[in-house]
Amino acid sequence: MQRFLPVLQQDNVDPQLTSLINTLMVACKEISFRLQQGELAGILGTSQEENIQGETQKKLDIISNQLIKDILLESDLVRAIASEEEDYIVAGSPNGRYLVCFDPLDGSSNIDINSLVGTIFSIMEVPEGQEGANEEMFLQPGTAQVAAGYVLYGPSTQLALTTGNGVRLFTYDNTIGEFLLTQEKMTIVEDTAEFAINMSNQRFWQAPMQNYINDLLAGNTGTRDKNFNMRWIAAMVGDVHRVLCRGGLFAYPTDAKNPEKPYKLRLMYEANPMSFLVEQAGGVSSTGYERIMSIQPTEIHQRVAVVLGSKNEVNTCLSYHK
Ligand code: AHG
Ligand code: MN
Ligand code: MN
């Protein structure tokens, strides 16, 4: 099996970008190790802190953030970072060429039950001619991403990565400390009979989503004339991974549960990188009304509605929104 670095070199990925992703993986390997230690390392449970979004941080949210932040800010290639767990952007090297957005630990409510979590990342370039570091630089649409991916800390640790030439899946071999290529090209099947959504929010969704999901639930007794199955990992990284592996539709739609927070997932470090992967694997990713990667961001922590996955099924869902 081929190792991570030669695979990207053969694909003519910019050597600096390759080096940056490799650096990021050093932190992810460390997170993977700590997660395996779990309770033994005393890293489970909740901290006393809240992030800017008013969410209580888990100890591992803070540890993972620190590991990634430290290693990225040491790199000459990184101009600045934006993280779910940092209120503001953090400046790195004045000559750095890249901007990195990340969710250091996605699905953190799964930590204490020893279940799936992951790290999601998105890499962009500093717009030409811009000096210093500011939030403005980050406000580029998802189409500007030069790389995106996630590391899933599951029974095995895996990296799904795109640099704009398809999606590759690597599996971490901890006996040699390397990610090895285990799937050259991930493609999302176009049709599916599986969906993932937090059904407890059903009564808070808008009419198009209610109608669409009702038709899925009606199965072969309804207009779809086909039975559907439901899966929900409660970590976007796990749900999107399943969609990449065997197809499906994943949605976190607009809801009216808390009028101040109509959307759950964050554009810059959840929706955009996942959309890049999904599109590169032949799937579709939308808010219900527009392509996620075309959204012009207005701030680094903004949230967005998400419907993504198997092309034909997502398009069916979108037709309810027209
Ligand atoms: P995070 O742990 O980074 O805050 O993200 C959690 C997100 C996402 O991964 C998942 O799809 C969603 O929250 C699950 O939320 P609920 O179970 O609360 O609906
Ligand atoms: Mn998350
Ligand atoms: Mn997180």
Query: Atom 2 (ligand 1): residue with closest C-alpha?
Result: 107
Element (H, E) at 112: none
Residue located nearest, by CA, to atom 6 of ligand 1: 107
pLDDT recorded at residue 43: 78
Query: Which ligand has the shortest distance to the CA of 264?
Result: 1
Nearest CA to ligand 1 atom 18: 234
From the CA of 127, how far away is ligand 1's center (Å)?
31
- pLDDT tens string for the chain (322 positions)? 999 999 999 999 999 999 999 999 999 999 999 999 988 888 788 888 888 888 888 889 999 999 999 999 999 999 999 999 999 999 999 999 999 999 999 999 999 899 999 999 999 999 999 999 999 999 999 999 999 999 999 999 999 999 999 999 999 999 999 999 999 999 999 999 999 999 999 999 999 999 999 999 999 999 999 999 999 999 999 999 999 999 999 999 999 999 999 999 999 999 999 999 999 999 999 999 999 999 999 999 999 999 999 999 999 999 999 9
Ligand 1 contacts (CB < 6 A) are 84, 103, 106-108, 198, 234-236, 252, 264
The pLDDT of residue 91 = 98
303, 264 in Cβ contact below 8 A? Answer: yes
Looking at all shown ligands, the one closest to residue 64's CA atom is 3
- For residue 234, the CA-to-ligand 1 centroid distance in Å is 6
What DSSP line would sit under 21-36, residue for residue? HHHHHHHHHHHHHHHH
Contact assessment for residue 122 and residue 107, using Cβ atoms and an 8 Å cutoff:
no
> For 139, how many CA atoms within 13 A lie in the half-sphere containing its CB?
10
According to DSSP, the residues that pair with 290 across neighbouring strands are none
Domains of the chain: 4-183 (3.30.540.10), 194-321 (3.40.190.80)
- Vertex 244 angle, CA 241 and 247, to 5°: 115
Asked whether the beta carbons of 137 and 86 are under 8 A apart, the reply is: no
CA distance 26 to 102: 15
Q: Which residue type does 161 have?
A: L
Alpha carbon of 239 to ligand 2 centroid (Å) = 12
Name the residue among 149, 157, 166 with its Cα closest to residue 24: 149
**Pick from 268, 254, 274: nearest CA to 299:** 268
Kindly state the tokens that stand for 230.
């439901």
Q: What pLDDT does 47 receive?
A: 82
The closest of 48, 32, 135 to 88, measured between CA atoms, is 135
Proximal ligand: closest to the CA of 238? 1
The whole-model pTM stands at 0.97
Question: Which residues are 58's β-sheet partners?
Answer: 46
